[in-house]
Amino acid sequence: MNRTLLLSIHGLVAILVVGGLVALALTGRVTIGRAPQGQRDYLLWTGWIALALFFAAYAYVLRKYAHKLGYSPEFRRQVARNAMDQAEQRLGVLRDRIAAKTLTDRSQILDAARAILRETGCGRVLVVRVANDSAGGPALFTQRTEPLARTARWMHAHVYYGLGAGILTFVHGGGHFSTPMGIALNGLTLVVVLTGLVGLGFWLVGPGWLTKEERDLSIEEAFVLDRHYTRRVEAEAAKLGEKDKELAAALMSAAPPGNLAGRLIAVLAPAPDAERRARDLLTLIGQRGRVAAELARLQRVKFAMNAWRLVHIPASIVLLAVITAHVLSIWLY
Amino acid sequence: MSATPDATVSPRDEFRKKGLDRVQLLATIAKDASIATLLRGIEFHACAPGVSLVTQGHYTNRLWILLQGLADRYRTEPGTERPQHLGALQPGEWFGEGSALSNQPALFSIEAKTACTLVSVDPAAFKALYRGEKAFAQLVDERYRVQSLAAHLRIVPLFRVLPEDVLKRLQPHVQFELLPADRVIAEEGVAADAIYLVRSGAVQCTTVGKDGAKRILGFYMDNSCFGETSLAVGDPRWIGTYQTMAPTDVVKIPAAILREVAGPDATGQLQGTANLLARQEAGGAPGLFDLLKKAGREGAPTADEVEVMVANESAKGGHALVIDLARCVRCNACVESCVAVHADRVPRLSKTGNRISTQKTLASACYHCEIPECMMSCNYGAIRRDVRGTIEFVWDNCVGCTSCVSNCPYNVIRMTPPPDEGPRDVTPSILANLPLVGHWFRSEALCGSKGQEAGSKVHKVTGREEKVAGKAVKCDLCAGMPFEACVYNCPCSAIERVAPEALFRD
């Protein structure tokens, strides 16, 4: 099970913020929901914070696709390979000085290393830190800057802030389904949060399930093998197609008929090794069929793991539109 | 400007016609075959005064010969800021031989003083001449001894403490040896008597355990050094048998001569470093076989993992990309993010790989091996190790012969489409996961196919026709980027780059 989610700082932030606001309501200090029973300040605070949390949750999607499509601002930080080589070369000289103990002061080491990164332009992609080596002396290390933080952390933010936003939406509106906006906001939030929780469940246990199901082949290996066998069968079918189009089509079908041997030998007959070739081809078709069946089985498991997204993603898009409409309507009217 | 040999005249006539026989170094070439090799690997260049020809610390893997004009030679010593002027190169003089032989960064900066004409020799042709022409190699070595040796020796930690004058006095005593493959350089247990610097080729150090099994202690390639412990106090012995794995050029420095030349003060300093290295050799960090034994003691599952890794040669890797299957939701973000950072849209990793346990898979992405078999198989100088230790491809030199693809033990090198074919469509789609219709939306490249149908191209040195299939590419650790895309973009923290040994430390 993936336990990294439990160690996230975003979980703590979401619990503190949302928990604090919910605690206020539970202790009876404020009444949730719309005026006149509700308190205006509380209503506004929960509204704005829920909105902020929603944006934080949606930011995960934005960050993911910005990178995937090549629009991430991080791409512009790339430095030339020569500059990286030069920086590493100069850092190597610095490391020599550290090893020779002519440079021992940690702040001086850091300053010198940072100056190298600055001068070579590599400060955009590398950061330096000084830690203890095995003998307890200072040692210089470099690592990537990772300016926007890893997607895993954004994923944690997505989960916790999304969940928090859902709770705050309920608190903000008082859980009323009496108006069209209430039905839309609360209903969609409920759908998004519940499908998200299902997804979270699969996120935690799904990999273990799929791995268990991958008996002899991983899903990726099955995919590659399936493609390989299909290509080979296609090539053979193309050759046979010149003589017997029907037979070629039968070879290519997902479930080839069982009486192919005789027809294959008949088509291949003039060749001296017709029987051997027919046997090889039948073995190939059999292998392809088994791999295809295995791939289909694993893909069904993978689909089951991802089916929640078919509801979660469209519902989230509609929810974003409804939230925008709600905020604009409050703002304007 | 490229020099294309004319098919109607003999190589020697062509050689004379170009005036290359008047160049002292090239005039030593005796065999016609060597001249033909040279002509296939040379280019002529002209440059204006002030142009930087080579920059210290940068890579240049060609040999450069100055035909006309003058060029200044500079070097900045470590710890100093100002480059020191070391004199001017005259017509007929050459530079870059060290880099061409051992892929080391340039030891000097060379700048054109006047308008210059130069001829450059590609590394494959240069190595062929160096190994096939005795007089040529001798001349190169003698000049290297005078001009570059002292600076080159400075890359060995042991020699960094030596004053300049000691290095100068050492120069005449240094021996250059060109050894064939499988030659034993030193035997285990015999008194260690020399220090070796490997300029090109590869040397392995092995020992035989009490159980009779051969254990590899280390490999020595471009610019690595062994035998420093021969200067240690006491009776230093070779800790293993050192044997060449391929034709290898070494620089040999006899320990006795070094002691004599260095004098008592410098020898004391050298011994201090040598003693430290000897202590490290005696009780250094555990090797894979120690870990194997430890794993065997601590439980079968881990021992199995190590055995699988050893059997699959995964243990050779410098840094492996490990996928934790208990976390990976198979969303393909790692592959897609890899595609996003490379202009050719070819992914550098595939999730198919060696499964080392029920929980972990070694993804097929370059391991940046300690002994890169791809590099050893490349005849074009298109693969080298950079200063960060990563193995990188030099696209300009790659002719697409696919020898690296077939020699990579992990099947991690792929070919890009030939330039005229343009990039492959690898746009991933969420619909690719759908049953029944998913295959309509899948892109084959995302699972990493190995190569493409090849065209052909003539080998620059051998003249043989070889297959061409675009350019070879592999994981470059997202060079120049502020992140390593696959690790950075995994939403499940399922993928990490680790040293294979680290998998068994916990």
Give the DSSP letter string of A145-165.
--TT--HHHHHHHHHHHHHHH
Give the tens place of pLDDT for each residue, B120-144: 898 888 888 888 888 998 898 888 8
Please judge whether A208 and B330 are an interchain contact, meaning their C-beta atoms are less than 8 angstroms apart. Answer: no
Mean pLDDT, rounded, for B19-31: 88
For residue A14, what pLDDT band results from cuts at 50, 70 and 90?
very high
Alpha-carbon distance A97 to nearest alpha carbon in chain B (angstroms): 8
Please judge whether A151 and B491 are an interchain contact, meaning their C-beta atoms are less than 8 angstroms apart. Answer: yes
- Which residue does chain A place closest to B495, by CA atoms? A152
The DSSP symbol for B28 reads: G
Give the tens place of pLDDT for each residue, B349-379: 888 777 777 678 888 788 877 667 888 777 7
Res B331: pLDDT: 87
- Which residue does chain A place closest to B353, by CA atoms? A221
Mean pLDDT, rounded, for B396-407: 79
Please judge whether B482 and A85 are an interchain contact, meaning their C-beta atoms are less than 8 angstroms apart. Answer: no
Between B377 and A200, residue with greater pLDDT: A200
Structural domain count, chain A: 1
Residue among B481, B457, B461 nearest B469 (CA): B457
* Residue B456, pLDDT above cutoff 50: no
pTM metric for this prediction: 0.60
Res B506: pLDDT: 45
Task: Report how far residue A295's alpha carbon sits from residue A229's, in angstroms, rounded to the nearest whole number.
Answer: 13
Res B74: pLDDT: 86
Res A93: pLDDT: 82
Mean pLDDT, rounded, for B216-222: 67
A67 contacts in chain B (CB < 8 Å): 337, 340, 485, 489
Res B444: pLDDT: 41
Closest CB from A86, A151, A221 relative to B333: A151
* Contact by Cβ (8 Å): A209, A215: no
Mean pLDDT, rounded, for B198-220: 72
Please judge whether A302 and B493 are an interchain contact, meaning their C-beta atoms are less than 8 angstroms apart. Answer: no
Q: How many CB pairs under 8 A join A and B?
A: 157
Please judge whether A207 and B79 are an interchain contact, meaning their C-beta atoms are less than 8 angstroms apart. Answer: no
Query: What is the DSSP annotation of B47-91?
Result: E-TT-EEE-TTS---SEEEEEES-EEEEE--TT--SPEEEEEEPT
Between A307 and B393, residue with greater pLDDT: A307
- Which residue does chain B place closest to A297, by CA atoms? B435
* Residue A51, pLDDT above cutoff 60: yes
Mean pLDDT, rounded, for A322-330: 91
Give a yes or no: residue A86 inside a domain.
yes
Closest CB from A78, A154, A210 relative to B481: A78
B78 contacts in chain A (CB < 8 Å): 93, 96
Res A110: pLDDT: 92
* Residue B209, pLDDT above cutoff 90: no
Between B127 and A265, residue with greater pLDDT: B127
Please judge whether B355 and A218 are an interchain contact, meaning their C-beta atoms are less than 8 angstroms apart. Answer: yes
Res B453: pLDDT: 37
* Contact by Cβ (8 Å): B151, B108: yes
For residue B458, what pLDDT band results from cuts at 50, 70 and 90?
very low
Closest CB from A99, A154, A211 relative to B326: A211
Please judge whether B157 and A74 are an interchain contact, meaning their C-beta atoms are less than 8 angstroms apart. Answer: no
Closest CB from A92, A144, A219 relative to B483: A144
Alpha-carbon distance A94 to nearest alpha carbon in chain B (angstroms): 8
Alpha-carbon distance B483 to nearest alpha carbon in chain A (angstroms): 5
Give a yes or no: residue A90 inside a domain.
yes
- Which residue does chain B place closest to A302, by CA atoms? B433
Alpha-carbon distance B289 to nearest alpha carbon in chain A (angstroms): 21
Can you list the domains of chain B with their CATH numbers? 11-147 (2.60.120.10), 157-283 (2.60.120.10), 295-504 (no CATH)
**Most A CBs within 10 Å: which of B352, B427, B443, B444, as the mutation test of the A interface?**
B352
Please judge whether B387 and A92 are an interchain contact, meaning their C-beta atoms are less than 8 angstroms apart. Answer: yes
Closest CB from A1, A84, A154 relative to B479: A84
Give the tens place of pLDDT for each residue, B308-358: 555 544 545 556 788 888 889 888 889 888 888 888 788 888 887 777 776
Mean pLDDT, rounded, for A186-212: 91
Please judge whether A92 and B386 are an interchain contact, meaning their C-beta atoms are less than 8 angstroms apart. Answer: no
Residue among B60, B57, B59 nearest B74 (CA): B57
Please judge whether A97 and B325 are an interchain contact, meaning their C-beta atoms are less than 8 angstroms apart. Answer: no
**Most B CBs within 10 Å: which of A1, A64, A85, as the mutation test of the B interface?**
A85
**Most A CBs within 10 Å: which of B489, B495, B505, as the mutation test of the A interface?**
B489
* Residue B4, pLDDT above cutoff 80: no
Query: What is the DSSP annotation of A57-100?
Result: HHHHHHHHHHHHTT--GGGGG---HHHHHHHHHHHHHHHHHHHT
Residues of chain B with pLDDT > 90: what percent?
4
**Most A CBs within 10 Å: which of B273, B321, B330, as the mutation test of the A interface?**
B330
Give a yes or no: residue A153 inside a domain.
no
Report residue A250: phi and psi, to 5°. -65, -40
In Å, what is the CA distance from B402 to each residue of A195, A231, B345, B472?
48, 22, 19, 7
* Residue B292, pLDDT above cutoff 70: no
Closest CB from B329, B341, B392 relative to A207: B329
Give me the domain span that covers residue A82: 75-144
Give a yes or no: residue A149 inside a domain.
no
Res B451: pLDDT: 35
Residue among A272, A264, A258, A256 nearest A240 (CA): A264
User: Positive or negative, the Cα torsion across B306, B310, B312, B317?
Assistant: positive
Two structure tokens written together for A239: 């050759």
Please judge whether B340 and A68 are an interchain contact, meaning their C-beta atoms are less than 8 angstroms apart. Answer: yes
Give a yes or no: residue A181 inside a domain.
no
Query: What is the DSSP annotation of B93-141?
Result: -EE-HHHHHH-PPPSSEEEESS-EEEEEE-HHHHHHHHHH-HHHHHHHH
Res B123: pLDDT: 82
Res A12: pLDDT: 92
Write the CB contacts of B53 (distance below 8 Å, at least 6 apart in sequence).
B47, B64, B71, B95, B110, B111, B112, B116, B118
* Residue B431, pLDDT above cutoff 70: no
Please judge whether A84 and B325 are an interchain contact, meaning their C-beta atoms are less than 8 angstroms apart. Answer: no
Please judge whether B352 and A224 are an interchain contact, meaning their C-beta atoms are less than 8 angstroms apart. Answer: yes
Please judge whether A86 and B340 are an interchain contact, meaning their C-beta atoms are less than 8 angstroms apart. Answer: no
Res B163: pLDDT: 78
Give the tens place of pLDDT for each residue, B36-83: 988 888 888 888 888 888 877 666 678 889 999 999 988 876 556 677
Q: Which of A283-287, B56-60, B192-196, B267-271 has the highest mean pLDDT?
A: B192-196
* Residue A133, pLDDT above cutoff 90: no
Please judge whether B480 and A78 are an interchain contact, meaning their C-beta atoms are less than 8 angstroms apart. Answer: yes
Average pLDDT, chain B: 74
